[in-house]
Amino acid sequence: EIVLTQSPATLSLSPGARATLSCRASQSISNYLAWYQQKPGQPPRLLIYDASNRAAGIPARFTGSGSGTDFTLTISSLEPEDLAVYYCQQRFSLYSFGQGTKLEIK
């Protein structure tokens, strides 16, 4: 079973700041990693697939990077609507999610 560990658990930043979210896999997963955004009361939304490809309609301020075991989601300039929990997910061996990073906007 592949375990994904996200850090930090909570991130509190001001609008306009840069957010960096990390996801580490327990073994190499190549680039088979996706990122999702879940706003309060809503289902998750696919942001990034295959580590670095933005899904349809996702703003350019969301960028994914990494391969192997270490991955990063960067939000270049935070907007108030980016308040959400962000999950990473691997599809290298079955499927699993990280525990999430809660992004708070000051």
Q: How far apart are CA 28 and CA 4, in angstroms?
A: 11
If binding is defined by CB under 8 A, does position 45 make contact with another protein?
yes
Q: Least distance (Å) from another protein to the CB of residue 39?
A: 12
Judged by CB under 8 A, which of 19, 32, 82, 103 binds another protein?
Answer: 32
Residues 77 and 75: their CA atoms lie apart, in Å, by 6
Does position 24 bind another protein by CB under 8 A? Answer: no
Percent of the chain that is helix, strand, coil (3-state, to 5): 5, 50, 45
- Of the candidate residues 16, 43, 60, 80, the single one contacting another protein (CB under 8 A): 43
Restricting to residues 59-88, name those near another protein by CB under 8 A.
85, 87
